[in-house]
Amino acid sequence: MLLQIPGVLSADEVALCRDRLDRADWHDGRLTAGHQSARVKVNQQLPETDPVARELSELVLRALERAPDFLAAALPRHVYPPLFNRYVPGMSFGAHVDNAVRQVPGTAYRLRTDVSATLFLSAPEDYDGGELVVEDTYGTHSVKLPAGDMVLYPATSLHRVMPVTRGARVAAFFWTQSMVKDDGERSLLFDLDLGIREFAKTAPEAPAALRLTACYHNLLRRWAEL
């Protein structure tokens, strides 16, 4: 499932992020890439230990807690602390698949990457190129969203970032280990959740709303890994 979620960050939060990031100390992004990705990755990244990265990572995590579509679609068990990257003219990231497992820095904890996310921090009119291109069973999708919007997609997807030819593409990115490992099962639960929310607006007291809610939780109970 590929899902675009608008307004994860407010305009003020985006402005704060850009103020911090425009003055940050960017490093070669290949330092955090795996063997295969390093061959096609040409971008800049904030080190995870950088104080700016830690501050803004916490800001993004707080925003995710108030994003109902993220919670419903990803069904997060664990979220990898968000990272930040930048592409300027001549930079791109060739086709790759994200590492299946990531170790949280400074800990012994490992996280399975079920869902990948990109949170755009640059307005699309501020740069040319830089589209996130995701390939799945339904074809190839090109994504370039307003600042503050986010896209989720299965971490199993082959994806790439097109070359930037003008301006700077700045974004946060991270991975989620979901309570529901299978993307198809997550998609069914998300669609059911959307239907229940719509039903609740029009007929909150209807017995069918209760039955649908029971179905949702019983499916989640069947599929969830805790």
At 125, the pLDDT band (50, 70, 90 cuts) reads: very high
User: Which residues are known binding-site members for 2-oxoglutarate?
Assistant: 169
The yes/no answer on whether domain 183-223 falls in CATH 1.10.10 is: no
Residues 167, 158: Cα–Cα separation, whole Å: 26
Instruction: Return the pLDDT at 136.
Output: 85
Binding-site residues for Fe cation sit at 96, 98, 159
Model confidence pLDDT, tens digit, residues 27-54:
998 876 666 677 899 999 999 999 999 9
Mean of per-residue pLDDT scores for the chain: 94
* β-pair partners for 79: 176
Annotated binding site: 96, 98, 159, 169
Query: What are the residue ranges spanned by the domains of the chain?
Result: 3-178, 183-223
Q: CB neighbours of 162 closer than 8 A, spacing ≥ 6? A: 92, 129, 130, 131, 133, 142
For residues 119 and 172, the answer to whether their CB atoms sit within 8 Å is yes
Residue 34's pLDDT is 64
Q: What pLDDT shows up at residue 207?
A: 86
pLDDT of residue 179: 98
**What is the average per-residue pLDDT within 199-211?**
84
Distance CA 15, CA 1 (A): 30
pLDDT given for residue 35 in this prediction: 65
pLDDT the model gives residue 39 = 83
Q: Tens of pLDDT along 146-199?
A: 999 999 999 999 999 999 999 999 999 999 999 999 999 999 999 999 999 998
Report pTM: 0.94
CATH topology of domain 3-178: Jelly Rolls (2.60.120)
Query: 103, 162 in Cβ contact below 8 A?
Result: no
* 177, burial (CB in 10 Å: exposed 0-12, middle 13-18, buried 19+): buried
